[in-house]
């Protein structure tokens, strides 16, 4: 079953004491929902189940049908209904800066907060930030992610689980590893779900934040992971392979396709697909051996073309055409 099936099948209310990694997938996926303005304040907590019902009632069009199904399951869920939602942020900037950032915090009973950073949306500006991971020491979204966890830690009492999917996992890692040690002490677990890593400027293994946090890090990837192997940073000991029923690499990346066993735990595999693993090892070797200036110039060149062509969104149809769709622009 996928995470929507899991939400529908679970009836015992979630607490910090019975939480498992399948629950983590669900709470991570929440960052892809468009919550209302009332959820923006850290000091005002709104029930997740009632929010789901309101979003179903007042949203006329969903980006994808899976979000409607997800909200329907949450609105009826005995496990997730009474969780609290707060601290919702959603920011985009493409005129003065390159920024696509979204995050939300969930209150779990018994003194636990779950911070979920969202991955890249379909906007070109969001994808440009993903390219910037290859050469920048800090992207705008990473800066926002660090500011976000600092604000959450200042306003909320208790401990944190920090998570994200795709780019969101990179933001979760950046915020956690570069936060003050007093905040790191309050983080009980860091999850990076099929997320790109950091470039060589970080020297992450000698980073004091990584040294402090290394026993709390878990990275889930599907068997044919590409995004989660890009700029691979953390040692393999942090990784777990989750089964995805999707037939293609692109859809395997989607957390809504990750599989959960009948016992409620992630359906794990012993190893990733060896062909994909070798391919991404070669890709990372090439990236490491290109100068930072070349990476920057290529990114700016590519996205200048998107701007000239007035391409605002990289939808699935566009991506399926790559690289031929891209070649038409040159």
305 within domain boundaries: no
CATH number, domain at 73? 3.40.50
Q: Is 36 helix (H, G, I), strand (E, B) or coil?
A: coil
What does the alpha-carbon distance between residue 266 and residue 53 come to, in Å, rounded to a whole number?
27
Q: What is the DSSP string of 162-198?
A: EEEETHHHHHHHHHHHHS-HHHHTTEEEEEEES----
Query: What per-residue confidence (pLDDT) applies to 54?
Result: 93
pLDDT in tens, 315-329: 444 444 443 343 333
Between 58-62, 115-119, 315-319, the lowest mean confidence (pLDDT) is in 315-319
The pTM of this model reads 0.85
> Which residue did the predictor score with more confidence, 80 or 263?
80
Q: Is residue 54 part of a domain?
A: yes
The residue segments making up the domain with residue 93 are: 3-289
Whether residue 326 is contained in a domain is answered as no
CB of 26 within 8 A of CB of 3? yes
Chain center to CA of 167: 5
Give the range among 119-123, 150-154, 309-313 with minimum mean pLDDT: 309-313
Domains held by the chain: number: 1
- Residue 196 has what pLDDT? 85
Residue 330 has pLDDT above 50, yes or no: no
Residue 28, judged by CB atoms within 10 A of its CB (0-12, 13-18, 19+), counts as buried
Who wins on pLDDT, 284 or 151? 151
| Residue 201 pLDDT > 90 | no
Summary mean pLDDT of the chain:
84
């Amino acid at each position: 079953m996928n995470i929507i099936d899991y939400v529908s099948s679970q009836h015992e209310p979630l607490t910090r004491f019975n939480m498992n990694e399948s629950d983590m997938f669900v709470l991570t996926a929440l960052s892809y929902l468009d919550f209302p303005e009332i959820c923006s304040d850290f000091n005002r907590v709104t029930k997740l189940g009632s929010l789901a019902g309101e979003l179903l009632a007042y949203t006329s069009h969903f980006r994808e049908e899976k979000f409607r199904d997800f909200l329907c399951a949450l609105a009826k869920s005995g496990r997730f209904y009474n969780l609290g939602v707060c601290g919702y942020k959603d920011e985009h900037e493409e005129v003065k800066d390159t920024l696509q950032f979204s995050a939300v915090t969930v209150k779990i009973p018994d003194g636990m907060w779950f911070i979920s950073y969202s991955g890249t949306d379909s906007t070109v500006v969001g994808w440009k930030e993903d390219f910037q991971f290859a050469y920048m020491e800090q992207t705008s979204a990473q800066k926002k992610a660090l500011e976000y966890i600092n604000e959450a830690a200042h306003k909320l009492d208790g401990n944190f689980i920090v998570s994200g999917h795709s780019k969101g996992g990179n933001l979760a890692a950046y915020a956690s590893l570069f936060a003050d040690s007093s905040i790191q002490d309050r983080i009980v677990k860091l999850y990076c779900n099929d997320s790109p890593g950091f470039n060589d400027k970080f020297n992450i293994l000698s980073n004091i934040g990584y040294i402090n946090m290394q026993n709390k890090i878990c990275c889930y990837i599907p068997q044919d992971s590409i995004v989660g192997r890009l700029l691979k940073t953390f040692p393999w000991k942090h990784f777990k392979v989750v089964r995805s029923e999707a037939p293609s690499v692109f859809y395997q990346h989607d957390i809504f396709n990750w599989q959960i066993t009948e016992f409620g735990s992630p359906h794990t595999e012993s190893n990733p697909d060896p062909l994909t693993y070798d391919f991404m090892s070669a890709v990372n070797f090439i990236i490491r051996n290109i100068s930072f200036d070349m990476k920057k110039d290529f990114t700016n060149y590519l996205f200048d073309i998107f701007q000239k062509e007035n391409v605002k969104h990289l939808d699935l149809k566009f991506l399926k055409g790559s690289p031929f769709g891209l070649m038409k622009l040159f």
